[in-house]
């Protein structure tokens, strides 16, 4: 690992001298890494065409694994080794504090455009006054439900988790009795990874159980409301959700849902456009609502997601890279992304865009949802966030898979987080 | 090494032999030098650096700024004013010991099953029958598939909703509802073991087969003439003679199994039931901001494997030179 880093450092220096010799004004090839696959990858070439024509540079995309945890591991290694082969990184909303030192401060280069974005999103990417990454879309999950099935069994759209559990159970039972053996009530993300942190944060927060670590750094997770939230979730596994949900990520849940085998699904807005594609078994049969609330709390919670682009400080052509990052965050591309993939724009003006309203009605509905979305505790826990998240999703995964009760696991989690925190985060 | 023993006696008698020998040694040294250099660069140096990092507080954002902290990443303790002593560090970390236990469980069970199955397959392949060449080639296919690919493939086969394994078991009436093989904590380790056995039995079979073919045929003929029962022949002739080859095969597999990573990382969710030492140390090295702590765990992993191998060689009185004690 270390000898490799030295080697790549040497190569970097060699390559740096070479590129200096070959002239600065030449067209550069900007390399972009992103974990987005499928249709977004296919359309990438067409999407960047106008930028390539305008600037004379070229853009190359390197696809990454779909799990954001895997992406993070790879990026961290590349950045630690000073990799100059990658210029622009697509980064998760929670990474900014952890990778801040390795990226260029975009604030001086984006003065003219940051004002167009939602201030809360820009703030989430700002670490000690440095704009680490430029947002390209934001995310807040939804409860997907099957309109046709709810109508068939004359059920209302649930507004609490308890109602949802009941409705899911009753429709699942009746559908199965009618011969639809593969149907499940509710699919979500239960694998032990970052996605489970999002799902579980929503349950806990919507029950009024806080947000794991509060904004001021206090550890709040061990409380009766969080315990009842986890107990309810545990009751889903094997009853309204398949047992395998404990290894599902977003795409696994969408697999069950889009083949028509689930009544409800918790997922991000990207599944909306895909669910309405021509080969989907649930095309035009579903709708979305904000996630339910829990207990007697009455307020639902959605975890704030979203992706950004950051420019590596080891890039050989930072100007081209910055120009490319600005392009990916531009109105033109954000609108395209909204229309094609139902990605939520980060630009205020696009929420009143008539094309988007017509083609992807979920987006205009979602403005309020993401504006009130709960951030994961990446800001207060700073560089320790990944470990906090890992301890949290492990405790939840253990509870859901029957490895200790919610009380035991959360008590242990509180102790571990306190140990990790030490005197301060 | 073999030659050094046999030559050491004539050495004293003839000086010309000694100079020839020296020449040979020098040539050998030159032939070995490139490999030793490469090995030092790609294996020795990173290993030494990892060991060094484990005694510092290096983080991945600043690889060259670590300070020496001694054994803090391994074990350290503080005594509180109440008199209670608190231990911390890898050696006091329950997740580490859980991973050690998982790894050992995995290694012992998988290698035992693979050895027995591999030997059985090898005995069959050692017989003369029509199409033997084809069968020998075919049996190697699982071993030839990269682990990542076979892990992904088995992941789909074991999938709870779309997987063919559940489909077949349901059709046969062996289970009445789909089983989530890889995510259920009771079956996760079992699934990993099944896939590993599937993948590495061919390797074991191949090494055993090589050992079996070294056994002279006339011993079997003599046993046949004496009218000895085939089971007795196996335990008194085949097994003792194939033992050196078997031991080498087991040690290879054991080394591999103790550092298992890819199969578990791909196949199962990141849960306590299957996390091994490699998985845990990678997590600390790269995902968490604990590069030095992860280095300490890698160093321990290295130490555990080294101890295992030493014990094994010593207990088995294993002769790694390849010559049997005939």
Q: How confident is the model at residue B15 (pLDDT cuts 50, 70, 90)?
A: low
Quick check: A402 and B185 CB within 8 A? yes
> Which chain B residues have a beta carbon less than 8 Å from that of A242?
160-161, 178, 180
Supply the range of the domain harboring residue B21: 14-53
Percentage of chain B exceeding pLDDT 70: 92
Q: How confident is the model at residue B322 (pLDDT cuts 50, 70, 90)?
A: low
CATH number at residue B197: 1.10.3720.10
Within 10 angstroms of residue B26's Cβ, the number of other Cβ atoms is 10
Q: How close is the nearest chain A Cα to the Cα of B30, in Å?
A: 24
Arithmetic mean of pLDDT, A328-332: 94
CB contact, 8 Å: B76 with chain A? no
Complete DSSP assignment for A262-318: EEEEEE-THHHHHHTSTT-TTTTSEEEEPPPB-TTT-----B-EEEEEEEBTT-S-H
Same domain, B35 and B151: no
Q: How confident is the model at residue A22 (pLDDT cuts 50, 70, 90)?
A: very low
Structure confidence at residue A69 (pLDDT): 83
Residue A38 pLDDT more than 70?
yes
Percentage of chain A exceeding pLDDT 90: 69
Residue A310, strand partner residues = A89
Q: How close is the nearest chain A Cα to the Cα of B200, in Å?
A: 25
Residue B276 pLDDT more than 70?
yes
Same domain, B45 and B177: no
Report whether CATH 3.40.190.10 matches the domain A142-303+376-421: yes
Arithmetic mean of pLDDT, A336-340: 91
Percentage of chain A exceeding pLDDT 70: 94
Instruction: Determine, yes or no, domain membership for B192.
Output: yes
CB contact, 8 Å: A293 with chain B? no
> Which chain A residues have a beta carbon less than 8 Å from that of B64?
none
CA A211 to chain centre: 17
> Which chain B residues have a beta carbon less than 8 Å from that of A100?
none
Residue B215 pLDDT more than 80?
yes
Q: How confident is the model at residue A417 (pLDDT cuts 50, 70, 90)?
A: very high
Quick check: A2 and B46 CB within 8 A? yes
Quick check: B184 and A246 CB within 8 A? yes
Interface of A with B in 336-395 (CB under 8 A): 383-384, 386-387, 390, 394
Quick check: B161 and A80 CB within 8 A? no
CB contact, 8 Å: B268 with chain A? yes
Interface test with chain B among A99, A238, A243, A247, by most B beta carbons within 10 Å: A247
The mean pLDDT value of chain A amounts to: 89
φ/ψ (deg, to 5) at B281: -70, -35
Structure confidence at residue A346 (pLDDT): 94
CB B154 within 8 A of CB B199: no
CB contact, 8 Å: B63 with chain A? yes
CA-based nearest residue in chain B for residue A75:
B286
Residue A20 pLDDT more than 70?
no
Q: What is the ipTM of this complex?
A: 0.76
- Diameter over CA atoms, chain B: 82
Same fold, A3-132+305-370 and A142-303+376-421: yes
Give the pLDDT confidence of A210-229 residue by residue, as tens digits: 999 998 999 999 999 999 99
Instruction: Determine, yes or no, domain membership for B8.
Output: no
- Cα separation, B139 vs B161, in Å, equals 30
Same domain, B226 and B128: yes
Quick check: B46 and A261 CB within 8 A? no
- Cα separation, A42 vs A52, in Å, equals 17
Q: How confident is the model at residue B316 (pLDDT cuts 50, 70, 90)?
A: confident
Same domain, B184 and B41: no
CB A334 within 8 A of CB A136: yes
Residue of A271, A266, A275, A231 whose CA lies nearest to A400: A231
Same domain, B39 and B104: no
> Which chain A residues have a beta carbon less than 8 Å from that of B45?
2-3
Same domain, B36 and B181: no
| Beta strand spans in A130-197 (E) | 130-131, 134-139, 142-146, 184-187
Structure confidence at residue A23 (pLDDT): 40
Q: How close is the nearest chain B Cα to the Cα of A125, in Å?
A: 18
Structure confidence at residue A6 (pLDDT): 53
Structure confidence at residue B321 (pLDDT): 57
> Which chain B residues have a beta carbon less than 8 Å from that of A194?
none
The mean pLDDT value of chain B amounts to: 87
Residue B57 pLDDT more than 80?
yes
Residue B258 burial (10 A CB sphere; 0-12, 13-18, 19+)? buried
CB contact, 8 Å: B45 with chain A? yes
Tell me what percent of chain A is helix, strand and coil, each rounded to the nearest 5: 50, 15, 30
Instruction: Determine, yes or no, domain membership for B119.
Output: yes
Residue B70 burial (10 A CB sphere; 0-12, 13-18, 19+)? exposed
Q: How confident is the model at residue B129 (pLDDT cuts 50, 70, 90)?
A: confident
> Which chain B residues have a beta carbon less than 8 Å from that of A384?
288-289
CB contact, 8 Å: A193 with chain B? yes
Structure confidence at residue B38 (pLDDT): 96
Structure confidence at residue B320 (pLDDT): 56
- Cα separation, B27 vs B47, in Å, equals 29
Q: How confident is the model at residue A360 (pLDDT cuts 50, 70, 90)?
A: confident
CB contact, 8 Å: B49 with chain A? yes
H-assigned helices in A329-373: 331-341, 354-359, 361-371
Q: How close is the nearest chain B Cα to the Cα of A81, in Å?
A: 9
φ/ψ (deg, to 5) at B88: -140, 175
Same domain, B103 and B250: yes
Same domain, B227 and B319: yes
Q: What's the number of CA atoms in the CB half-sphere (13 Å) around residue B321? A: 10
Pick the more confident residue, B44 or B14: B44
- Cα separation, B15 vs B11, in Å, equals 7
Complete DSSP assignment for A362-425: HHHHHHHHHHTPBPPTHHHHGGGHHHHHHHHHHHHHHHHTTSS-HHHHHHHHHHHHHHHHTT--
Q: How many domains does chain B have?
A: 2
Instruction: Determine, yes or no, domain membership for B280.
Output: yes
CB contact, 8 Å: B61 with chain A? yes
* Per-residue b or e along A236-266, where b marks 16 or more CB atoms closer than 10 Å to that residue's CB: bbbbbbbbbbbbbbbbbbbbbbbebbbbbbb
Angle between helices A194-206 and A385-400 in degrees, nearest 10 = 70
Residue B7 pLDDT more than 70?
no
Tokens found for residue B191:
């699934």
| Beta strand spans in A51-202 (E) | 58-63, 88-92, 126-127, 130-131, 134-139, 142-146, 184-187
Quick check: B46 and A3 CB within 8 A? yes
Torsion of CA A137, A140, A145, A147, to 10 degrees: -60
Instruction: Determine, yes or no, domain membership for B90.
Output: no
Residue B204 pLDDT more than 60?
yes
Quick check: A394 and B268 CB within 8 A? no
Q: How close is the nearest chain A Cα to the Cα of B74, in Å?
A: 16
Same domain, B155 and B293: yes
- Checking phi first, is residue B323 left (phi over 0); if not, alpha (psi -120 to 50) or beta? beta
Give the three-class secondary structure for A28.
Answer: coil
- Cα separation, A136 vs A343, in Å, equals 9
CA-based nearest residue in chain B for residue A383:
B289
Residue A196 pLDDT more than 70?
yes
Structure confidence at residue A175 (pLDDT): 95
Pick the more confident residue, B5 or B286: B286
Fold of A3-132+305-370: D-Maltodextrin-Binding Protein; domain 2 (3.40.190)
CB B257 within 8 A of CB B107: yes
CB A159 within 8 A of CB A209: no
CA-based nearest residue in chain B for residue A262:
B161
Same domain, B127 and B198: yes
In chain A, where are the structural domains located?
3-132+305-370, 142-303+376-421
Residue A401 has its nearest CB partner, among B161, B185, B282, at: B185
CB A254 within 8 A of CB B162: no
Pick the more confident residue, A5 or A420: A420
> Which chain B residues have a beta carbon less than 8 Å from that of A1?
46, 49-50
Give the pLDDT confidence of A62-76 residue by residue, as tens digits: 999 888 888 998 999
Arithmetic mean of pLDDT, B283-290: 88
Tokens found for residue B145:
């598939």
Residue A2 has its nearest CB partner, among B49, B160, B183, at: B49
Instruction: Determine, yes or no, domain membership for B305.
Output: yes
Arithmetic mean of pLDDT, B157-181: 89
Residue A149 pLDDT more than 50?
yes
């Amino acid at each position: 690992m270390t000898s490799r880093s030295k080697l790549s450092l040497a190569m970097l220096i060699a390559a740096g001298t070479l590129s200096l010799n070959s002239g600065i004004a030449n067209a550069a090839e900007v390399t972009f890494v992103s974990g987005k696959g499928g249709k977004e990858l296919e359309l990438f070439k067409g999407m960047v065409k106008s930028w390539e024509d305008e600037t004379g540079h070229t853009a190359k995309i390197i696809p990454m694994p779909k799990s954001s945890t895997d992406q993070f591991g790879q990026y961290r290694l590349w950045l630690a080794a000073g990799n100059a082969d990658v210029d622009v990184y697509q980064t998760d909303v929670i990474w900014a504090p952890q990778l801040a030192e390795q990226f260029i401060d975009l604030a001086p280069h984006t003065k003219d455009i940051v004002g167009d974005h939602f201030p809360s999103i820009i703030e989430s990417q700002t670490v000690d006054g440095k704009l680490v990454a430029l947002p390209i879309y934001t995310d807040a999950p939804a409860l997907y439900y099957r309109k046709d099935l709810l109508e068939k069994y004359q059920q209302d759209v649930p507004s609490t988790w308890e109602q949802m559990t009941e409705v899911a159970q009753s429709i699942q039972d009746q559908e199965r009795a009618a011969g639809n053996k593969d149907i499940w009530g509710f699919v979500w993300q239960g694998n032990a990874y970052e996605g489970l942190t999002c799902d579980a944060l929503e349950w806990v927060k919507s029950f009024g159980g806080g947000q794991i670590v509060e904004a001021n750094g206090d550890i709040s997770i061990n409380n009766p409301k969080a315990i009842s939230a986890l107990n309810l979730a545990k009751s889903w596994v094997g009853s309204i959700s398949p047992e395998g949900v404990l290894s599902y990520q977003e795409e696994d849940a969408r697999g069950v849902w889009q083949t028509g085998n689930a009544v409800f699904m918790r997922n991000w807005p990207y599944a909306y456009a895909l669910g309405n594609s021509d080969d989907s078994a649930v095309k035009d049969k579903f709708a979305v609502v904000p996630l339910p609330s829990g207990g007697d709390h009455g307020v639902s919670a959605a975890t704030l997601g979203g992706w950004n682009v950051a420019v590596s400080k080891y890039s050989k052509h930072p100007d081209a890279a910055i120009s490319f990052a600005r392009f990916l965050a531009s109105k033109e591309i954000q609108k395209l992304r909204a229309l094609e993939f139902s990605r939520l724009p980060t630009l205020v003006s696009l929420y009143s865009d008539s094309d988007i309203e017509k083609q992807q009605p979920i987006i205009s509905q979602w403005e309020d949802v993401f504006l009130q979305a709960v951030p994961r505790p990446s800001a207060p826990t700073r560089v320790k966030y990944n470990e906090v998240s890992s301890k949290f999703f492990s405790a939840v995964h253990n509870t859901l898979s029957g490895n200790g009760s919610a009380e035991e696991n959360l008590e242990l989690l509180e102790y571990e987080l306190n140990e990790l925190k030490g005197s301060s985060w | 090494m073999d030659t050094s023993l046999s030559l050491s006696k004539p050495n004293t008698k003839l000086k010309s032999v000694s100079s020839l020998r020296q020449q040979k040694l020098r040539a050998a040294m030159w032939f070995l030098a490139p490999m030793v250099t490469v090995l030092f660069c790609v294996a020795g140096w990173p290993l030494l650096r990892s060991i060094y990092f484990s005694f510092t507080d290096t983080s991945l954002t600043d690889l060259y700024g670590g300070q020496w902290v001694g054994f803090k990443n391994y074990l350290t303790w503080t005594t509180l004013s109440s008199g209670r002593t608190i231990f911390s560090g890898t050696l006091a970390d329950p997740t580490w010991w859980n991973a050690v236990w998982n790894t050992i469980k995995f290694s012992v069970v998988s290698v035992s099953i693979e050895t027995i199955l591999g030997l059985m397959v090898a005995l069959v392949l050692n017989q003369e029958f029509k199409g033997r060449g084809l069968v020998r080639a075919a049996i190697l296919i699982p071993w030839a598939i990269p682990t990542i690919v076979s892990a992904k493939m088995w992941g789909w086969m074991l999938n709870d909703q779309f997987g063919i394994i559940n489909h077949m078991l349901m059709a046969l009436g062996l289970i009445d509802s789909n089983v989530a093989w890889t995510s259920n904590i009771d079956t996760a380790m079992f699934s990993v073991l099944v896939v590993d056995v599937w993948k590495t039995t061919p390797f074991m079979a191949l090494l055993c087969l090589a050992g079996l073919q070294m056994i002279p045929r006339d011993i079997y003929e003599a046993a046949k003439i004496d009218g000895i029962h085939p089971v007795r022949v196996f335990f008194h002739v085949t097994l003792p003679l194939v033992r050196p080859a078997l031991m080498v095969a087991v040690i290879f597999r054991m080394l591999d199994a103790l550092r298992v990573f890819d199969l578990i990382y791909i196949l199962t969710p990141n849960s306590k039931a299957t996390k091994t030492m490699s998985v845990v140390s990678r997590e600390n090295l790269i995902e968490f901001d604990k590069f030095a702590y992860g280095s300490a765990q890698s160093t321990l992993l290295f130490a555990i494997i080294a101890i295992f191998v030493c014990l094994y060689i010593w207990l088995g009185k294993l002769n790694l030179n390849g010559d049997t004690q005939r």
